[in-house]
Amino acid sequence: MIEFRPSGLTADEEDLRVRVREFVAEEFPSGTYLPELGINAAADVEFSRRLAARGWVGMVVPEEYCGPGRSATERFLVVEELLAAGAPVGAHWVADRQTAPVILRFGSERLKREFLPRIVSGDVFFCLGMSEPDSGSDLASVRTRATRTDGGWLLNGRKVWTSGAQYCHYVMTLCRTSPRGERKHAGLSQLIVDLRSDGLTVSPIRLLNGQHHFNEVVFEDVFVPDHLVLGEVGSGWHQVTSELAYERSGPDRFLTTFPVLRYFLDFRHAAGPEAELRLGALAARYWVLRNMSLSIARSLDDGEVPVVEATLVKDLGTSFEQDVLDVVRDLAGGDQDPDGDLFGRLLADATVTAPTFTLRGGTNEVLRSVAAKHLLREKRRAV
Amino acid sequence: MSDELQLLDETLAAIFAKHFDRTARIAAGRDFPHELWTLLDKAGLTTLGGDGAELAELVVLARAVGRAAAPVPLVETAGLAAWLVGAAEETLPEGITTCAVGHADDDLRVVRDGDGWAVSGTLHRVPWGRDSGHVAALVDGVLVVLPVPQEVRRGVNLAGEPRDTLEFHGVAAHTAVDGAVGPDALRERGAVLRAASMAGAMESALELSLAYAGEREQFGKTISSFQAVQQHLVAIAEETLCAGMAVRLAVAASPEQAGFAAAAAKNTAGCAAAVVTKRAHQVHGAIGVTDEHALPWFTKRLWAWQDEFGTAREWAAPLGRGVIADGGAGLWPRLSASVGDA
């Protein structure tokens, strides 16, 4: 049976946290700016570079590729401070969270030398080309395909919900490199595609509040040189699923609406028995979820691959992010002006984007089915 | 878990499995399982808390009680009474010493009586009062250990565990000393240990649900292949894991964090119990609500224990007051405070 273990921090880790907290307090004095909401955050390239200058982007990249060689736990500590303050982490987010780790794990020496130093310096940003118009949670059904050509591949197809393609430099693209056979998970590969390539067009898909976050990316005979294939041709599925432990369990899966709660406490008057009861329940849940999420970072550092744990924490955390809004809205008394003060604006943004929390990275329903199968398998094995 | 805790856990599991199996449980009904108790006593487990035991050990014990749905007052004797008496550097009387729960209607009074102390008043909902020789209780900062009267007013909780009312009329106290532990600390410890038992009971409810869903066939396939059932199983697992983690956090918490962590543990266990009981029964269908099935051993305890030593709501309130007092800027440092060893 799975179990989560509390994990304290070393003196060095505490020290890192103090430094990040000071940096964040300087950059974002509370009440003077509209906080961002988790990974829906706007891109602020200058902020990402300032962060990179401190060694806090691509933290897990080792020194031989110009990185600081820090642990998953140290990255966790940096990221949670940024998210709790509502920092604009959008630009470097994907490169930092998952591209750097997967290039490190599966990339050729040439790919590592080409990309890792520039991720660490905040000069190269990635986005993810996974979903397609007909492939959402059933990711293995992607139809974007690459066919062989001299010195590389010709890519054709269409990706959607590609966050940040309008400012990123590369899109990590999951595509079919051989026709779909009996096993739908075979024949998939990951290609690193330059977003400035000929034949590639990016167009916005606006969110329901008008924000430009998602894009459609269309590939028409886009040439991708051989060396930009990540890992083995045909191993795309294995590689993509191994990213999931990084993708699913981080602080971004329970802290998205934290700034809303924080600003509620600062900008509105919370008092009385109902406020105590409901805020107390939120505090207990944050406490437990954060420590579960932290324990996953620790086990990644111990060389484990806690994919199921990560899946469960993502399900719990993203549902909780929505619950937080329900509580805050009730306590704030409703009818907050979406164009009003900082709290009103933040609550409005959070309310209309909340449905994305439990969709992105695989819907929670699909995650639960995956997790259930694992639990049932473990149970059969134990009998 | 350290090797010692692992050994303790395995010892308890082995005793419960071997000496209190399904047949023994049904045969015993609501009678006190003397044979089982003797074994626990011989293993030194019934007074564990008085021997300088750490909270971590008592939590292992409480969790094992929940996981086995063991109908014994181990939490009350080892986890609470022995701890209270040990902390005051007194010795326990022979036999079973249970612990009063600090019920709102308790009204003990202690008066000087020659060289000793005489105690009058009533203790409510005392776990296993009828089976105990003595009861430990806190009265205005004084720890008393009293002989249980011959006649008790019998009561039970939903799981059939004795919760008796004891009346004292000028009874000579076995022990009456300044308590080293205050009523709030007792209530917190009771909450953490109940939460640990609840986490254990949830683990068993999860195991039963996974097993049943994997073997029960309907519409020509096991019900575990239905997504609706899978969603239940995952929700049970998630809440069980949250409860377990909340308890472990309470164990790992520093003295400054202890109050917050204890409140969070009982709150989390209470919220989790509501989900786990509902969904585990939904997975089991009608067989789960019969007295021939094991599931109710666990769900009835969860329903009873969620109310004991404070409900989820009662523990949410102090947490909420803390949140409001800290304000927006203080919330994050409190939630992200480091817990336990690196």
Q: Which residues of B touch A3 (CB under 8 A)?
A: 241, 244
How many Å lie between the alpha carbon of A124 and the closest alpha carbon of chain B?
31
Among chain B residues, the shortest Cα distance to A11 is held by B342
Closest CA to A153 of A192, A127, A181: A192
| Within a domain: A253 | yes
ipTM of the complex: 0.96
The residue out of B178, B212, B227 marking a domain boundary is B178
Say yes or no: B191 and B166 in one domain.
no
- pLDDT at site A40: 84
Of A234, A261, A279, the one marking the end of a domain is A234
Beta-carbon neighbour count of residue A53 at 10 Å? 11
User: Does one domain contain both B143 and B202?
Assistant: no
The CA–CA distances, whole Å, from A262 to A30, A84, A325, A326 equal 10, 9, 11, 14
| Contact assessment for residue A321 and residue A357, using Cβ atoms and an 8 Å cutoff | yes
Interface test with B, best of A291, A324, A327, A366 (most B CBs within 10 A): A291
Residues B196 and B164 in one domain: no
pTM listed for this prediction? 0.96
Q: DSSP labels for B40-74?
A: HHHTT-TTGGGTT--HHHHHHHHHHHHHHT--S-H
pLDDT, averaged across chain B? 95
Q: Which of A93, A124, A155 is the last residue of a domain?
A: A124
- Chain B closest CA to A224's CA: distance in Å? 40
How high is the pLDDT of residue B64? 97
Asked if pLDDT for residue A306 goes beyond 90, the answer is no
- B contact residues 240-259, partner A, Cβ 8 Å cutoff: 241-242, 244-246, 248-249, 251-252
Q: Which of B167, B178, B177, B168 is nearest to B116 (CA)?
A: B177
A288–B268 CB contact, under 8 Å: yes
Q: Of the candidates B178, B193, B210, which is a domain's last residue?
A: B178
Are B14 and B97 in the same domain?
yes
Q: Are residues B74 and B166 part of one domain?
A: yes
pLDDT at A315: 96
CA distance A5 to chain B (A): 7
- Domain residues for the domain of A79 are 11-124
| Average pLDDT of the residues in A273-295 | 97
Tell me the pLDDT tens digit for each residue of A219-249. 999 999 999 999 999 999 999 987 776 677 7
In a domain, residue B141? The reply is yes
- Which residues of chain B are within 8 Å of residue A315 when distances are taken between CB atoms? 234, 238
Helix (H/G/I), strand (E/B), else coil: B322: helix
pLDDT score for A181: 85
Distances (CA, A) of B26 to A103, B30, B158: 59, 9, 17
- Kindly report the CATH number assigned to the domain that includes residue A348: 1.20.140.10
Cβ–Cβ contact B11 with A under 8 A = no
Cβ of B62 under 8 Å from any chain A Cβ?
no
B75 and B151 inside one domain? yes
The CATH number of the domain where B173 resides is what? Answer: 2.40.110.10
Size of interface A-B (CB pairs under 8 A): 177
Looking at the structure, do residues B46 and B139 belong to the same domain, yes or no? yes
B141 and B199: one domain? no
Domain encompassing residue B225: 183-335
Question: Which CATH number do you get for residue A46?
Answer: 1.10.540.10
Check whether residue B237 and residue B205 sit in a common domain.
yes
pLDDT at A345: 94
- Count how many domains chain A has: 3
Give pLDDT, residue B292: 83
Do A253 and A372 fall within a single domain?
yes
* Mean pLDDT, residues A203-207 taken together: 96
Domain assignment present for A2: no
Instruction: Say if the Cβ atoms of A276 and B316 lie within 8 Å.
Output: yes
Give the residue from A30, A26, A27 showing the smallest Cα distance to A263.
Answer: A30
Residues of chain B under the 70 pLDDT cut: none
pLDDT (tens digit per residue) in A345-381: 999 999 999 999 999 888 999 999 999 999 999 999 8
Q: What is the mean pLDDT of residues A311-326?
A: 97
Contact with chain A for residue B262, Cβ under 8 A: no
Who among A278, A283, A288 is closest to B245 (CB)? A288
- A134 and A261 in one domain? no
Residues B190 and B273 in one domain: yes
Structural domain count of chain B = 2
Please report, rounded to a whole number, the percentage of residues in chain A having pLDDT higher than 70. Answer: 99
Q: Determine, for residues B267 and A14 on separate chains, whether the beta-carbon distance falls below 8 Å.
A: no
Task: Give the model confidence (pLDDT) of A149-177 as tens digits.
Answer: 999 999 999 999 999 999 999 999 999 99
Predicted local distance difference test score (pLDDT) of residue A245: 65
